[in-house]
């Protein structure tokens, strides 16, 4: 089971945003950052179509949870990706 599903920090998110995060997390299990980047970009396009976006706090939370689940090598990549956000 993916840690995102049970993370209490996500319980206060808008249900649609939470669903999108869970779909991304479930679809990218064991994926590298390079593999996840197109999915993340698609996620942003879907949110824009619905006039939604993640706040800075929500984005930070998502990245924090990703960091907790990542291997040391992936953590470095996530940290670099975080700098672009």
The reply to whether 44 falls in a domain is: yes
Q: How far apart are CA 77 and CA 85, in angstroms?
A: 13
The reply to whether 22 falls in a domain is: yes
The reply to whether 2 falls in a domain is: no
Mean pLDDT of the chain: 77
The number of residues in the chain equals 85
Question: Could you tell me the pTM of the whole model?
Answer: 0.65
pLDDT of 78 > 60? The answer is: yes
What burial class does residue 25 get, using C-beta atoms within 10 Å of its C-beta: 0-12 exposed, 13-18 middle, 19+ buried?
Answer: buried
Per-residue confidence (pLDDT) for residue 1, from 0 to 100:
44
pLDDT in tens, 18-35: 887 777 766 666 667 677
User: Whole domain around residue 72: which residue ranges?
Assistant: 8-84
The reply to whether 3 falls in a domain is: no
How many structural domains does the chain have?
1
Q: How far apart are CA 77 and CA 58, in angstroms?
A: 19
Give the tokens for residue 58. 């929500």
Q: How far apart are CA 53 and CA 74, in angstroms?
A: 25
Per-residue confidence (pLDDT) for residue 12, from 0 to 100:
85
């Amino acid at each position: 089971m993916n840690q995102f599903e049970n993370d209490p920090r996500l319980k206060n998110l808008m249900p649609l945003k939470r669903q999108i995060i869970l779909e991304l997390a479930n679809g990218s299990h064991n994926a590298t950052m390079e593999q996840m980047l197109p999915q993340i970009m698609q996620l942003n396009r879907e949110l824009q179509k619905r006039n939604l976006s993640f706040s800075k706090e929500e984005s930070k939370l998502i990245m924090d949870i990703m960091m907790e689940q990542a291997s040391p090598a992936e953590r470095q990549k996530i940290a670099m990706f975080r700098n672009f956000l």
